[in-house]
Amino acid sequence: MLGVFFALTFRDYYETELFNRMLFQADVLEPRLKSFILSGNPFGVSDFLKEESNKFPLLGLSLLDSNGKVVSSTWGQKGDDWSGFPEVASVLKRENGFNIRTFDFEKQAFVATPIVSDQEIVGIIVMRSSMEPVSAGTSQVIRFIIGTFLIALLAGVLMVYSSVRIQTQPLQSLIESARSISLGNLDETFESRSSDEVGQLGRVLQIMVTRLKSALREAGEERSRFQAIFSNMVDGLLLIDSNGKILLANNSFLTIFGVSFKDIIGIQVDNSVLPLQLSAIILRGEDGVDSEMILEKPAKRVLRIRTATIEQDGCAIGTLSICEDITRMKLLESSEQEFVQYISHELKTPLASLSASIETITTKAKHDPEAQAKFLGNMGEDVHRLTDLVNSILTYQRIRDTGEQMFKFGAVEMVLDVHGRFLAYANKRKIHFDFEVPDDEVYVIANKDRIIQVLINFIDNAIRFTPEGGKVVVGIENTPDSRRVKFYVSDTGIGIPKEYIGKIGERFIKIPRKDHKFDTQVGLGVSICKEILRRHGSPLEVASEEGKGTTFSFYLKRATQSNSREKSADLTE
């Protein structure tokens, strides 16, 4: 403040000196300029003004009339009205005029004095001078004051800095530790051995960091558990915010709808590639209400959609949608209904036959031994048919519920044995039954009894559905994959309609036949075979053309000479 006071005092002094000097110069010029005014002939006044302006250290000199209009000027135009300038306006009020303003891009001082004759203002002298000397002097003083002030300030700052540094060194250490922690280094510690406020602060911060590490560790574990559960859920999960923007989806959801993360994340659900029906169900958001939809692409599925609102402090912040694939359940429901229908049909026929036979034996054939024998034979066939039905159901369930013991055995020997069992039956049906096997024995690892059961089922079906004169072949074939052996049963029978080939192996499926009378099975035989092969790690392959024949084939693991027994876990899914 003292420096500013001195600077302003110095400036005021120089400005006063400049104004006084210019007033003195005006007093010197007044007599001559008065003569120009009073003579009424301003001839030569312009040259006079230029000469006097150069003589004195002035930037300009002007002569005005009593009304403030320019008579002659070294910088103005004759006739210009300067009465509005502050310095001229002061003279018109019979006062000396002083003013400082910027002119020609430079700060200049303007002084105006009256030319008086008989106590009347007959003219005005206006002169201007540069303020540069005043500004330069003032600047020099200010620089000196500022320099002195800065030196004193620097000395004071150094003293204060040294003192503060000593006092704040522990605090600075706390700040550096806090900065390191803010960057994620939670192993940083607050070292403070003092017992003052800074030391207490360090100890409190260390307790906070310890608790923060514990909370972050628990949050990380919880996040990992959630991520593991979310990602590995069998059902599809989709999370949206309160505005309908998709935030997260698990792998099951992406697989079900055939999309990727970049296709949906961050996009409004109703503007995404997801089906419109799904978007409508999600946005409707009826908690606890199950909705079903049929998805056509990428694979036909039946989905059950359930939504749950996520709330925080009583406000909805998002919605979790659960998409459960119930396609298999729907198929099972349909299969069960068909099963009931098939079982009802299969039970009605033999039961009705039994009832009729019993009624006949007890009435019309009561005294006819020959008729009784005939109807008792029919009753035996009906009982056998019911027994086969029950055994097929029990066998299918037993195979699904129990494991398989795998042994090494000769496949050629097994095929020849099965061929021999059916040779008489095939001849009776006038079917040419042949086998195709390698010359050398081929050893496989499998449950022999189950594989024989599979071959018996395939061969029995082939013979039953091949017309007289047809051909059935059971065989073994080496594959390019030396680890497996191919088994097949082919026939030249009536074949399978194209639309049913994909359903082969489903439970309770019976293919309608229009040209034979032998289909009296319940529809579980091939399903049992397919389940047995699945447990052996082999698919069931079916090739068929209606009217030309069918080939069933499967694969078993080849055994080496050193193999004697392998566990089922090595061969099953």
Q: What pLDDT score was predicted for residue 573?
A: 37
pTM equals: 0.40
Q: What pLDDT score was predicted for residue 404?
A: 61
- Longest distance between any two alpha carbons in the chain, whole Å: 180
Query: Which residues 6+ apart lie within 8 Å of 330 measured at CB?
Result: 302
**The domains spanning 2-130 and 233-325 adopt the same CATH topology:** yes
Q: Cα separations (Å) of 39 from 30, 42, 45, 481?
A: 14, 8, 11, 135
Q: What pLDDT score was predicted for residue 463?
A: 93
Sort 346 into a burial class: Cβ within 10 Å, 0-12 / 13-18 / 19+.
Answer: buried
In contact, 96 and 23? CB cutoff 8 Å: yes
Whole-angstrom Cα distance, residue 121 to residue 63? 13
- Amino acid (one-letter) located at 469: G
Whole-angstrom Cα distance, residue 143 to residue 311? 67
Q: What pLDDT score was predicted for residue 367?
A: 76
- Which token pair is 55? 């003589």
- Which token pair is 120? 């009347």
Kindly report the CATH class assigned to 233-325.
Answer: alpha beta
Segments making up each domain of the chain, as ranges: 2-130, 233-325, 329-400, 403-570
Q: Helix or strand or coil: residue 65?
A: strand
Q: What pLDDT score was predicted for residue 382?
A: 72
Q: What pLDDT score was predicted for residue 2?
A: 63
Q: What pLDDT score was predicted for residue 566?
A: 45
Q: What pLDDT score was predicted for residue 74?
A: 80
- Which token pair is 317? 């912040």
Q: What pLDDT score was predicted for residue 412?
A: 95
Domain 403-570 matching CATH 3.30.565.10: the answer reads yes
- Which token pair is 219? 């949050």
Closest CA to 463 of 437, 434, 487: 434
Q: Please provide the size of the chain in residues.
A: 573
pLDDT in tens, the chain (573 residues): 666 666 677 677 777 877 888 888 888 888 878 777 777 766 677 778 787 777 766 778 888 888 888 888 888 788 888 888 888 888 888 888 888 888 878 888 888 889 888 888 888 888 888 877 777 767 777 778 788 888 888 888 888 877 777 766 677 777 777 777 777 777 777 666 667 777 777 777 778 878 888 888 888 888 888 778 877 888 889 899 988 899 989 988 998 999 998 888 999 988 888 898 888 888 887 777 888 889 888 888 899 999 988 888 888 888 888 998 888 888 777 766 766 666 675 676 667 677 777 877 788 777 778 877 877 887 787 787 677 667 766 665 665 555 567 889 999 999 999 999 999 999 999 999 999 999 999 999 999 988 998 999 899 999 999 999 999 999 999 888 888 999 999 999 998 888 888 778 676 556 665 554 444 454 567 888 888 898 889 999 999 998 899 999 999 999 875 554 444 434 433
Cα dihedral 446, 447, 448, 452 sign: negative
What is the CATH architecture of 2-130?
Answer: 2-Layer Sandwich (3.30)
Beta carbons within 10 angstroms of residue 162's beta carbon: 10
Whole-angstrom Cα distance, residue 116 to residue 522? 142
Query: Which residues 6+ apart lie within 8 Å of 65 measured at CB?
Result: 37, 71, 122, 123, 124
In contact, 61 and 49? CB cutoff 8 Å: yes
Domain 329-400 matching CATH 1.10.287.130: the answer reads yes
Q: What pLDDT score was predicted for residue 512?
A: 60
Beta carbons within 10 angstroms of residue 88's beta carbon: 22
Query: At residue 76, what are phi and psi to the nearest 5 degrees?
Result: -110, 175
- Which token pair is 272? 């995404």
Query: At residue 268, what are phi and psi to the nearest 5 degrees?
Result: -60, 135
| Tokens 């229009």 found at | 514
